[in-house]
Every structure is written in C-alpha cells, then in structure tokens.
Chains A and B, each alone.
Chain A
Amino acid sequence: MAQSALLMLEDGRVFRGESYGAAGEAFGEVVFNTSMTGYQEVLTDPSYTGQLVAMTYPLIGNYGVNAQDQESAGPCAAGFIVHEASPIYSNWRAEESLHDYLARTGVVAITGVDTRALTRHIRSLGAMRGALAPGHTDPDALLERIRAQAQMEGLDLATGVSTPERYVVPAEGDRRWRVTAYDFGVKSHSLQLLAQRGCEVTVIPAATPAEEIVAARPDGLFVSNGPGDPEAVGHALETIRGLADEDVPVFGICLGHQLIGRAFGASTYKLLYGHRGGNHPVRRLSDGAVEITAQNHGFAVRGDENGIPGAPALRATHMNLNDGTVEGLEHRERAVFSVQYHPESAPGPHDSRYLFDRFVDEMARRGAGGERGA
C-alpha cells in the first residue's frame, strides 16, 4: 500500500491522497494546469519554479517520460498533484515511468487528490500557498509553516533559475543571426525554434550588466519566460530600452513580455488564479484571427485594446478572449514585440509559432542595414 500523503492549502483546506514520486515535504504556490497532455514539459518548465502544480486531467503518467520532452535540465515545479497515476506507461518513446522520474529527481508528488475540487477551490479563491506532506503530518504545525512561506507577489524567482554562466546554442544549418537570450527560466523549445531559424543563441544570466549586452550589438534580443513576480525583477529593463533605441529587434515571451511592458512604463498585476493550459483563445488584433495558445502565467500587463496605461509607446496586439487580458504588445516605433502566452508551445498547440518567424523577419529587415519604416 502506498504511503498516505496530504496537500494543505493556506486557508486550511486539506486534500488527502497517496505519496507519489519522491516522499517528503514540498512548499509552494498551488496552481492548476488544464492541459490534457504534456505533463513532462510542464514539470520541466522553469516558470513553475516555486509552484505545486495540479493537473486537471485526471490520468497522469500514461505515456511515461522520455529524454526529448524536457524543457530544461530537469523538473522545476516544487511539487506535483494528480488525481490518478498510471500503473504502467505505454508509448514507443517512453524510457521511464513518471513515478520513477519524480522519485529520481526528488520531486514530491501526491496522487488520489480530487483535483477538480481543488481546481474549483482555487478558481474561486485564487492561487494560494500550500504544502505537500506525509499523511501523518500535524496539520496545525504544517499550516503555520505554509503561512510562513513567502507570497508569490514580490518574489524574484527568475534570477534564481537563470543560468549561472552564459552558453551558446548553435544555429541549425548556417548561422544567419546572433541572438542574445535572457534566461529567466528559458524553455529549451524556445531556443530550439530560434536555432532552427538560423539563430546562434547566446543564453545569458539574468544579472548580466545591460551595457555589456548593448555593447555586443546582437542582431536580436530574446527575453525568456520565467517564474515569479515581474515587478520584482530589476534586470533586463535597461537592456530592452537600450537595444530598442539601437533598433535591435526584441522579442519577449511571458515574463519577458511583462518585462518589455515594464521597460516602457507598463505595470503588472497578479491574476486571481492565472492562465495555465493549452486551450486559451487569443485574438490577434491585426487581422482578427484566433490563436489557440499555450499559457502559463500568474501575472499580467495592465491595459486593454485602447492602450497600455503608463506606456504610451506600446500597444496591445493580442487579447485573451476568455477574460480580456492583454496577451501581446508591440512598440509603436521600434521592432519590439512580445506575447504573454507561449508560442514555443511545449506543451500546447502550434498556432503561434509564426512569432519566431516574425522575430527573424525583423532581424532580416535590419540585417540589410535599412531603417524600419514608420
């Protein structure tokens, strides 16, 4: 019989289940993801750092884990919550069971939780702090420790997950562009999609001094996704402005999008329970087309179709059709654009990968040495 385990939320609600993956305790912000596939990519997405991720799809582990579907070196989520873990895995690419993978990499997880009840709880009360712990843990003491954890607001987690050293991802085929990528928790798919488009990507630590980056004059700047509160991240703002002034194309995703917003004066705020899943409809304002997007964010840039408060230089390019939040920005004069969602989409639909093409096109336009037209 598996060991009993529990999930406790900061409001005192307890869900009981069984231990899965590594045994022990884990603390973090409890969030839910509605993707029906892609648990491995979710686990290894650095944006989930500091979070206990619940999958709303009830059967997890069905197709195992493999070496190709890692979005970073290993799991990033602080803990994992599922309704029912698969007894076996079955897929031609599978190399290991999810349980063994979690246990091997030390990720504490729980199975047997009514994840729908949990989701409805978070949906109405908001993402909140919580803990996974063995079933016999004293609840009062655990609650106290949960409440002693830091709130997600004001937390800079991105700097912590950034690469300590810069490294280079070579272009696939001929190198056409040199791109600098800020790593705030970059996903390997983003780098791969750039490399496939002829970009040699230099991935740099979050704390790299701005002048160093601007001085290097890359062909383009990529600002990655990442965990935590964008307001708490001080890096990159100056670089974004500096390179934008030099008319270097800048492309941001998720946290990168929020930082681009902040660089030009926009403010961000925390959503009640965020967007995490692979089915969010987003309208592209330029032509009205709807993209089905992969999302993973708890914060958003303030604004609407009419404008971005505090950032007159920016305009919204994409809007979320479910709740009207800003999903994309661009600079009115510079080749700076960003999306709140995940066009690299791993996991998730591939509707938005054209944004990587756009980034490369912007570099191409400048590669010819011409100024960008108004």
Chain B
Amino acid sequence: MPKRTDLKSILILGSGPIVIGQAAEFDYSGTQAVRALREEGYRVILVNSNPATIMTDPDLADATYIEPITPEWVERVIAKEKPDAILPTMGGQTALNVALELHDSGVLERYGVELIGANARAIRMAEDRSQFAQAMRRIGLKLPHGGFAKSLDEALRIVESTDYPAIIRPSFTLGGTGGGIAYNRAEFEEQVRRGLDLSPVHEVLVDRSVIGWKEFELEVMRDHADNVVIICSIENFDPMGVHTGDSVTVAPAQTLSDVEYQAMRDAAIAIIREIGVEAGGCNVQFAVNPADGELLVVEMNPRVSRSSALASKATGYPIARIGAKLAVGYSLDELPNAITGTTPASFEPVLDYVVVKFPRFAFEKFPAADATLGVQMKAVGESMAIGRTFKQAWQKAIRALEIGRMGWETGKTPAEDRLKDDTAATLRAALRRPTPERYFQIRRALVAGWSIEEVAELTNIDPWFLAQLRQLVDAEREFAALADPTADDVRRMKRLGFADAQMGALRGESETAARERRWALGVRPVFNTVDTCAGEFPAKTPYLYSTYGDENESERSDRRKVVILGSGPIRIGQGVEFDYCCVQAALALREAGFETIMVNSNPETNSTDFDVSDKLYFEPLTLEDVLEIVHLEQPEGVIVQLGGQTPLKLAEGLQANGVRILGTSVEAIDRAEDRERFEALARELGIRQPPNGLATSVDQAAEIASRIGYPVLLRPSYVLGGRGMEIVYDEAGLRGYFERAVSVSHDRPVLIDRFLEDAFEADVDALCDGETVVIGGVMQHIEEAGIHSGDSACVLPPYMLGDRQVEEMREHTRRFALALGVVGLINVQYAILDGVVYVLEVNPRASRTVPFVSKATGVPLARIAARLMGGESLASFGLPEQIPVGGVAVKEAVFPFNKLPEVDPLLGPEMRSTGEAMGFDDSFGMAFAKAQISAGMSLPQSGTAIITVNDPDKATVTPIARRLHDMGFRVMATEGTARYLRARGVPCDRVFKVNEGRPNMVDHIITGDVALLVNTPLGKQSQYDDYATRRAAIQYGVPYVTTMSAASAAADAISALRSRERTVRSIQERTGGLVKTKPA
C-alpha cells in the first residue's frame, strides 16, 4: 500500500520536558518521525515545550510550536493549523494522553482530525488496565492476577487473593509514577492511597507479585496490511520487581530456547493484533517463571518508548522512522532497510553481538532519597554498549556510565558499594535489595568465592548472567598472576571487555603503562558494523562498535573529517541540551563538506542515530576508547566543547596523545576553569568578581571566609551541576560542610566565594572565532542568587535589568572570549547586586542554555560554533550586532520530586532539575505562564492562595499578596505573615501551620481547597512544617513557589492568564528568517 494522499498535514506531539521516565528517547523518535513524514511531502506541525530538543529545531518541522502539550494549548494549535491527522505515538505517555483527551472531548472530530498510528480505541485498550486484561483473556494470555480498585476498601479485598508482596500500579501515570511494592498491610494502605491520588482516574491495579521472575520485552511493528515483525528481544538482568528503566537490560534475550522465544513472539503478535495498533510499533513486557516457564503478560505500550529507542540502537532498525511511514499507509515491504539499502524493512533484525544497557542514577544529588529500586523508575539516564560477548558489552556499558568505574570494578571502600562494612552478613542482606550498587556487590561476593547458586538465590538474577560474571573474576585473577603477559593474554582480556585502566590496576601499573604495553604488543581493537543481519548482507551505513576480533570493517576515507565527542548518559547537570549541540555540529559540518564522526554511548539520543553523522561509533567516552577511534580515523581534529564535561575532561589527555582539539584551546579551557588562573584573568581584564579564595584545608577555608565575609558559597573545583555546592552563613556551617559533604586537599581544593545575597543572576551565551564576538543572548534568572543556574527559571531578554548592566555584561563577555581566544561557544555567568555586575564563572564551551537561546532567536548557535571550529569566520554568517528575540522567552526547570517522595523540594546551589520547558509569548507574564504549564505547574486564575514566608521575605511578599487579592484570590496566611499583611491593608485569613491545630495547611491542600502555595523556608524550628507542606503540594498537584522572585513572576503570569488572549505562534513565525548555515 503506498502512502496516503488524502492527508496533507500531520501534527506530531512531543513529550515535553525531560523527566524521570520520559527522556531524550522521545526527542529521538519525534525527530525521526518529523523527518520521515516531511520527506514524504507532508506538512508537519510539531508541538513540544522542550527547547533542548533537536525536534524543535526551526528547520526540522514546517511549523514548530513551543507551546504547552496540554489539551487546551494543543487545541489552539489545531484550530490554527487545521492538520488532517495527529501522530500521537511519538511523544510518550504525554502525547498519548493528550491525544486521547482531545479525542474524548470531541475536539478531533470537530476539526476533522484523524489519529494515525494508533487510534483511540487501541490506545485505550492498551492503557486501561481492565480493558487490557479483558483483551488478554480473549487471546488466551495470562496477566499477573489481581484487580482494579477505585478505593482502599476495594484494594484490600483484592489483596486478600494476591497476598503480599503485592504490586500497586496507579492507572495512567508516567513511568510507573506512584507505583510500589507492598510487603505488609501498612505499606499497602499507604501506597494504595498515594496511587489513587496520583492516578488521573483514581484507580490502581493490584497485581500478584511476580518479583524474582525473569523479565523480557519484545519490540513489535505492524503495518496496515497486518504484517507483523519483531524488531528486538530484550532480557532484563534484574528480575521482575525492578522497573525496566532501572534494570540492566540485555539484547537479544539470552536464556530462552527457540521454543520459548517463539511462544513469546506468537503472544506479542497476537497482542498487537488484538489491541489493534494499526500501523506502528509497540512494546510488550513479559514475566517468565524461572521454575516452569509460565508466561505472563505484564504490559504493552502502543507507542514508541525508551525500549524502542534502545531496540533501534541495538539493532540498527529505526523503529520510529519506520513507524511514522507505516502510519501514513506504507507497508513494511515497501520500505527499505536503511542499513543494507538493498533489503526491505519487512524482516526481523538478527544480532551477532550483545547489547547491554546500564541505568544511570542521581542519588548523589538526593541523599535523602531511598535508593532501593522498585517498580517506579528512578534512573535519570542510561548508557548502552555493544560487544561481541555479554562480558565485553557489560564492561563497556559500565565504563560508559562515567561513575568512576572503568568497568565492572568494586569500590575502594564498602561505602562506595553501598555497604556499611565488609562482612558477609552485610553483603548478604544487601544482595537481597536491588540498588544501583548491587552489581558491584555481586562482584564482591564472587571474588569472595560465593557460589553462583548462592548469589542467584539472594538476588534472583539468572545464574547464566552470574556465570558470565564469574568468568571475569577468574580472568582477572589469572591475568594478575602472569609474569609477562603476551599479546594473546592481553587480547583475551580485551575480549572480555577490560579497559586498559583495569588491566593496569590488576598489575599495579598506570592506565598509560597498560596502554603502552598493549600497543607495543600490537593489540588494537577492530570495528565491527551493526548491520541488522549478522553479516549476511553488506551494510551501507557505517554504524560501528569496537571489539577485539579478526577483521576491521571501518574504512578510513580520504575526506576531511572531524570527530565529535558526545555527552554520554544523561544525568542531572548534563542533559539533552548537550546532545542537541553535538547533533547540530554534525549537521553543520556535514553541510560544510566534512566527514563527521560521532562518538557516544547514549541510546536515547539523536546523536546516536546513524543518520545524523557520516559515521557513528557507539562507544564509551573514555580516553582509551576515543584514542582508538582517532588512531583509526586520523581526523583533522576532535570537538570537545559541545558535549558538556564528558568530552571536556578528555581534552587534556587527547592533546597529550597528539590529538588536535578543534576550537578553543585546552590551555584556554584550563585558564577559565582553574580558579586561580581565572581570578588572575578577571583581574587583568578589570572585571569584578565576588571576593573569593581557594582553600586546600579546612582551616584555610575558615580563614578565607572570615576575610571575605559570610555568607560564602563553597564548592569543590571541577564539578558538574553544582555537585557539593553549599551556602554557609557562619564558621560552624563551614566546618559542618567539610565534615559532612566534602573532603579538601591539595589535589581537591575547594572554592570559596562571597555569596551575594539577593543579587540577580544572568547568563550570557556568545560565539567567538578568535577575533570577533557575537552575543547570542543575555538571560536573566528569575530565582535570586544561590539557586543553581540550571534550576532557576530564566527569561530572555532580561526583564528587570538596566540597559547599562546588560551592555556591561555583553562587553565583559566579549573581553573574556577574546582574551581566552575562544573559537566556538562561551558562556559567562554574572551576578548583579545594587547595579554592580560581578562575574561568577566563565565556561568556554556550550552551555545548557544554547538550545534555548537558539530557539528564542532563530540563530543556531551550536551549528555556527561548529563551523567556526571548522575554520570559518563569524563574519561569513552575517549575524546582526544585536540578535533580536522573537518575543519573550522563559525557561523553567523541571524537577523529579514527585518520583522521590523522601526529598525536600527546596531549591539551592546544587542542581536537581532533570529538564526544562520553554514558554514563548509576547509578554513576560504569558511566557512565564506557558513555561509553568509546560513544567507541570498549572497556575490558577482564582481560588485560595496560602502564603507563609520568612521574615526577610515579608516586605517583598506584600505587593504580591495585594495583587493576588486584587485579582480575586482569597489570601490565607500563617500567623506571622497574616499579621504583617493585615497591618499593610491586605485582607487575609489565618491558616494553621501543621503543628498549630486543624485544619492546617496540609489539610487544606489535601482537601483541594488550595490553588497556590507561596512558601519560603522558615528556619530550622519549622523545617518539618515546611517540608510537609511542600511535599503535600507536590503530591496533590498544587502549584507552589519557594522564592519571592518566582512568586512575583507567578503573579505576573496569573494576571496575564486572566487578562490576555491566549494565542499560539510557531517559532518560524516568531523568529522569521532563520540564519542559515548552509553555504550560499
């Protein structure tokens, strides 16, 4: 069946900000879908509120709406664009839910919009757990028994039959939000209550526990002609009970015989047909009883997913791209296999390698959070590795995680492996509980000689995996004992995936010595191709991974070539923004005629789409792995400044090995990042800094702090995302910081800055070619100083700064860029206090805000930066002196607090946001309102506002309270605040604090009486009060602000929502003539 000609325009919904459970994989799939449909000649309209995405690049879709993905706002886009169809399957649960709501409310019918890919009936049958259960019964498949409950009583009746442990899954929530395992009645009641609250339909599923069963997943595709293929099978290393997103997963399945695999395949095919996904992909999860093979269906997602992105990368089969083509009518056999080019897409990929995915967590950011892994996802990112064996892929995937382990290594202390001591009893107890460190605890057990059976019994991990791991332990022991390893010995270790650093450590050598030994023995990796067909047909697309086999398949071309280093797993502080920059660079340098070579290990992202660059190496970003690629490819240079800290920290090592770093020099990077050298630079340029110092001991720190005056900001040097950053107000606080959080020494100095209280902060992004500078944008932070820049909302252009200060910051930025000889991007952070501009830090690299600025201005900063690094001059791009912004753009951060119920949602100098949303409009108020809606904080237009603030904030909050009152809000305040407000003529009612009586603030929040909560920390004595109140707000979805500046902005936004017309405009309309990077 050829493509449909009755459709002319298609709306694609993105997934919005990155949150736990919904990350960059939907940028990858959405981008593929946009490309796939545009190349068929359809007009493609896109809605996504996440500016850090490739899909929202202005030249990707025909019309790109950076607007909230909610029924209300998407309806406005529909009303304006009148699309013929919506493809709802590319934007995760967010897109699916919005599409379903638009269908149910009749909007789609009213505008004559068709759902393609998956229709409303199929979506509902897959999503509604009771309908799904009925569907499975019809085709003779079993689910973990249990039932649905709309109340606690119902749930308690069901659990009588399932017994404990029982699994609680709220209906229609993202990434298992609110799900849990209950081992007793108390836990059960608590989790059911939470689940009912979190479920938009107030329903939970109570499942029979299949904890410890084997877990599998199949990725399935179906076309309109009812052809069905399985793209990939995945087996989880961690058994049932750990969310797939938090599990180590392996492709293909390892421990199923063909009979069992085919039974699973038959089931998956029956499911996609019964659910009625007409054209596209789905994934199906299964649980298998290891004792007798009983097969249960766990769930099915009628859309692309994290797993489908992984499967696409694992097999070379682009599921989203093909899915989009199927949705417009093609059948699988009409589409080519993009890798071979000669065979059709109607086949099932076969692998001749093993893929291992490892989750990446951020518990170091949330010390209060419970690190036990369960049915609710907690990972923030993942790495993937490809090897010829499980062992090779396993070690590479760990190496790619960048968690300080060069492979499957145990920590130096038990604490590093989440063990309180090194006794067998502690280890035994730990192995029963899945945590991010359990993989390393297993190594401790195997090294100690525990049997596979014993470890399997404790962990429920299949003995097959454990036997593989034991081979690693055995190999280490043998290698360490060798007198003089031969080339064969070294090659054997490399085939097992050991890094040079690990091999060196085994023999008491440095990584460099180990590498030199290996090179001297002539042991180098070869690169094999991911070809979808296990070598049966030649592959046209160079998608490569390293291994230590007989034949190298990666041929060096004679073209000019550039290696771009990606940013590895997504983590807090290093998100999809950096992947965006790397992809932009690949595209721009391809345009400029370079062969672009991408290196990255993150399966979620666009950079690891083999279509993005000329060559893709799916490899860990370590010095060893990059050196081998460079050795083979001999590029003109390597780009390290776009992928965040990951590539940046390789720069020095690469240069030491004779590799040319393109753009800003390693020396300049060091000058900006080394605090002492930077201070000298700022002084030389006459640019003011907050008083500061560098301490290598606690006493020195105290001495510096008393000299520059408290409060001071403390942070370890060379850290990412504000890790270990804290503000202290006195010496006791300072000493406490060193006792609790951070060690200090000559090798690990700590930076001390005077903390500028109540200062505004600003970020400037700029381009420089070494001779001229263009300022991309000046962004003002909404939260005051002390909140990490990544966690603060910001606005472009600045809305409360004077022209003089803005001009001063532009000028400072120019001088820094030229003094450092920046070629590419530079980001400078400033604080403004009492009209005085201070520089906080200079980052001669791509910043988190680059995509945001690019979307707001239409100037593709990262693309231009890449071209500058390729040797072009800024002048050739014809950028204006002042780059205009197409309205007011607000960026708001998004936090994982709803996934981590133990964590206080207060903001501070340590970054904790996972993603960002952008609001784009003509006024600050409306732009801020849109950003809040997109960040999941739907500001009210009326109702009750509870205000409870600390003393210093009382003056600031008064005009805000007055505005709320004037707009018709009922203002309630706690005693002190209420008295203060009343005295200044703001009518308000008193509300009890938690410990003052009932009903108190939390009661009001739970009852649903509260529309807005304004709460700033009240000091130590009421910490619990504050915490309980904020947690309640999160749990019950009440919009809340914890800073005065955010409260003021919220008032502006509420005012805009009440008075202004709500409109949508595409970024193409807003930014008009996008600056082209294509050669004229």
Contacts and interface: CB of A to CB of B under 8 A. Distances in A.
Given A34-B534, A114-B550, A116-B549, A290 B346 contact: yes
Contacts of B343: 281, 321-322
Interface in B457-494: 462-464, 467-468, 470-471
Contacts of B332: 290
Contacts of B259: 68-69, 93, 346
A63 to B, nearest CB: 5
Contacts of A87: 467-468, 470-471
Contact of B266 (A37, A69, A86, A350): A350
A56 B293 contact: no
Interface in A91-125: 91-93, 114-117, 119-120, 123
A200 interface: no
Given A88-B463, A283-B333, A36 B350 contact: yes
Contacts of A208: none
B388 A83 contact: yes
B258 interface: yes
A58 B352 contact: yes
Interface string A50-90: 00000011110011001011000000000000011011111
Nearest to B289: A92
A281 B352 contact: no
Contacts of A86: 464, 467
B229 to A, nearest CB: 6
A106 B265 CA distance: 33
Contacts of B462: 90
A116 B528 contact: yes
A321 B293 contact: no
Interface string B318-353: 000000000000011100000000111011111111
B452 interface: yes
Nearest to B452: A88
Contacts of A41: 258
Contacts of B257: 37-38, 40, 63, 66, 69, 91, 93
B389 A59 contact: yes
Interface in B544-573: 549-551, 553
A261 B348 CA distance: 29
B469 to A, nearest CB: 10
Given A34-B534, A114-B551, A350-B266, A63 B352 contact: no
Contacts of A283: 333
Given A57-B352, A91-B257, A62 B464 contact: yes
Interface string B238-261: 000000000000001111111111
B262 interface: yes
Contacts of B390: 59
Interface string A319-346: 0011000000000000000000000011
A58 B388 contact: yes
A348 interface: yes
B256 A281 contact: no
A279 interface: yes
A6 to B, nearest CB: 13
B800 interface: no
A292 interface: yes
A369 to B, nearest CB: 36
B803 interface: no
Interface residues of B, number: 59
B370 to A, nearest CB: 31
A192 interface: no
Given A62-B464, A87-B468, A90-B462, A120 B255 contact: no
Given A69-B257, A116-B549, A347-B258, A59 B348 contact: no
B290 A92 contact: yes
A321 B462 CA distance: 38
A343 to B, nearest CB: 13
A280 interface: yes
Contacts of A347: 258, 262
B153 interface: no
Given A114-B549, A292-B347, A92 B535 contact: no
A349 interface: yes
B550 A277 contact: no
A288 interface: yes
A350 B233 CA distance: 16
Given A116-B535, A279-B347, A69 B258 contact: yes
B265 A349 contact: yes
Main secondary structure of the interface of B (DSSP, over half): loop
Contact of A117 (B226, B350, B549): B549
A35 interface: yes
B227 interface: yes
A119 B333 contact: no
A349 B348 contact: yes
B533 interface: yes
A269 B182 CA distance: 64
Interface in B379-416: 388-390
Contacts of B291: 92
Nearest to A92: B293
Contact of A279 (B260, B292, B349): B349
B354 A37 contact: no
Interface string B518-538: 000000000010000111111
B225 interface: yes
Nearest to A273: B536
A15 interface: yes
Contacts of B292: 92
Contact of B354 (A58, A123, A277, A279): A58
Contacts of A321: 333, 343-344, 346-347
A56 B254 contact: no
B262 A348 contact: yes
A335 to B, nearest CB: 27
B354 A56 contact: no
Nearest to A119: B535
A34 B550 contact: no
Nearest to A277: B350
Given A41-B258, A92-B291, A349-B348, A84 B534 contact: no
B535 A123 contact: yes
Nearest to A120: B535
A290 B333 contact: yes
Contacts of A91: 255-257, 260
Nearest to A122: B535
A289 interface: yes
B351 A57 contact: yes
A62 to B, nearest CB: 5
B225 A288 contact: yes
Given A58-B388, A279-B349, A117 B551 contact: yes
Interface string B251-279: 01111111111100110000000000000
B498 to A, nearest CB: 16
Contacts of B350: 34-36, 56-57, 277-279
A364 to B, nearest CB: 25
A63 B255 contact: yes
B352 A56 contact: yes
B535 A289 contact: no
Contact of B464 (A89, A117, A119, A346): A89
Contacts of A322: 342-344, 347, 537
Contact of B226 (A56, A278, A289): A289
Interface in A159-179: none
17 contacts: A34-B534, A35-B350, A37-B253, A57-B252, A59-B389, A62-B464, A84-B389, A90-B255, A93-B260, A281-B333, A281-B344, A290-B332, A292-B346, A322-B537, A347-B258, A348-B262, A349-B262
Interface of A: 15, 32, 34-38, 40-41, 56-59, 62-63, 66, 68-69, 83-84, 86-93, 114-117, 119-120, 123, 277-281, 283, 288-290, 292, 321-322, 345-350
Nearest 3 pairs of A and B residues by beta carbon: A38-B258, A347-B258, A90-B464
Given A36-B350, A88-B452, A322-B347, 5 more contacts: A32-B536, A56-B350, A59-B390, A114-B549, A117-B551
